Amino acid sequence: MTTTLDRYQTFRELHRKGCFVIPNPWDAGSARLLEQIGFRALATTSSGFAWSLGKADNHVTLHDALTHMQMIAGAVDIPVNADFEGGFAVEPAGVEVNVHLAVKTGVAGLSIEDSTGDANNPLFDLELAVARIAAARRAIDESGVGVLLTGRTEGFIVGRPDLRETVRRLRAYSEAGADCLYAPGIRTSGEIAAVISAVAPKPVNVLVSSDFTTVGALGDAGVRRISVGGALARAAYGGFLQAAREIAEHGTFAGLARGVPSDALNAAFK
């Protein structure tokens, strides 16, 4: 059994060299299975968790998110990074209070993003966004724990795919205290290289939610960390819906034969 301190140290060490994948479970069972496969760290997914509650992404409460983070971190012996969305507050003071709560859940890392949820103005103004990252940094430092802070800019997934602005924001978040930088939605080798160069030597996370690259290619490009967001949850729901629709629409059950055997799952969760 690893201690929380062990997980902090392990997670930071993973970011120092090489490239690793943090797949995103959405419940304790999926977390334990991913650990058994051999992944060295995991990350929560705000979308996958929300869907498991029958809600859309970004529509869970702070209490639900904190409970979920504690549950995932407690289900495995490897480090867990938390998708803490926007810190569940707009103003930096609120972000700081909530990050104080988040670091008590046992996660080894957490991210703060800069999306507003407003389609007309999807990103916080840069000055406010930087202050929010600085507030999260203060909360972590004041806690005295080694939680790793990731600064996220969401332009490429909220309709503002501006590489220059993305680089500007990530540099600012790095200077405000982010340990790792992340721009979900960047895909091309040029975009990825520009981000890595802009924040070097700090590590960069790249989101892979479809079959557009490989771990080897991203590692060769200098990417330190790869996450898959809600993609594994979507894959699971895809199999579920395919089998369920076959029953509803055709009255046949062939899709059920593709499921994992009960004995295998029972053995995995002993």
Residues 80 and 158 in one domain: yes
Smallest CA-to-CA distance from 80 within 135, 174, 1, 147 is with 147
Q: Check whether residue 127 and residue 251 sit in a common domain.
A: no
Encode pLDDT of 71-94 as tens digits: 999 999 999 999 999 999 999 999
DSSP state, residue 41: -
| CA distance linking residue 150 with residue 265, whole number of Å | 34
Residue 71: what pLDDT?
98
DSSP state of 98: H
Examine the pLDDT at 4 and tell me if it is beyond 90: no
209 and 177 share a domain? yes
Residues 181 and 252 in one domain: no
Residue 1 clears pLDDT 90, i.e. is over it: no
pLDDT in tens, 90-126: 999 999 999 999 999 999 999 999 999 999 999 999 9
Which pair of structure tokens corresponds to residue 201?
A: 């030597």
Q: Check pLDDT > 90 for residue 174.
A: yes
Three-state DSSP state, 250: helix
Do residue 149 and residue 204 come from a single domain?
Answer: yes
Tell me, what's the pLDDT at 248? 98
Q: Tens digits of per-residue pLDDT, 143-170?
A: 999 999 999 999 999 999 999 999 999 9
The domain of 242 spans 231-270
Distant-in-sequence, close-in-space partners of 147: CB < 8 Å, separation ≥ 6: 8, 102, 103, 107, 108, 109, 110, 140
* H or E stretch covering 228: none
Burial, 193: exposed, middle or buried (Cβ in 10 Å; 0-12, 13-18, 19+)?
A: middle
pLDDT tens digit string along 210-261? 999 999 999 999 999 999 999 999 999 999 999 999 999 999 999 999 999 9
**Residue 32 confidence (pLDDT) above 90:** yes
Q: How many domains does the chain have?
A: 2
Confidence of residue 2 (pLDDT cuts 50, 70, 90): confident
Are 187 and 236 within one domain?
no
Q: Name the one residue in this structure whose structure tokens are 């609120």.
A: 94
Residues with Cβ within 8 Å of residue 79, at least 6 apart in sequence: 7, 8, 10, 11, 14, 40, 41, 42, 107, 108, 109
Same domain, residue pair 81 and 172: yes
The enclosing domain of 90 has a CATH number of: 3.20.20.60
- What local confidence, expressed as pLDDT, does residue 199 receive? 98
205 in the same domain as 138: yes
State the Cα–Cα distance between residues 207 and 217, nearest whole angstrom: 13
Same domain, 18 and 115: yes
One domain for residues 129 and 13: yes
Residue 17 has pLDDT above 90, yes or no: yes
Are 206 and 241 part of one and the same domain?
no
206 and 262 within one domain: no
The answer to whether the CB of 233 falls within 8 A of the CB of 24 is yes
- Structure confidence by residue, pLDDT tens digits, 37-56: 999 999 999 999 999 999 99
Task: Convert the pLDDT of each residue in 123-133 to its tens digit.
Answer: 999 999 999 99
Stated pTM of the model: 0.96
Which pLDDT does position 255 carry in this prediction?
96
How far, in Å, CA of 157 to CA of 150, rounded? Answer: 17
CA-based max dimension of the chain? 59
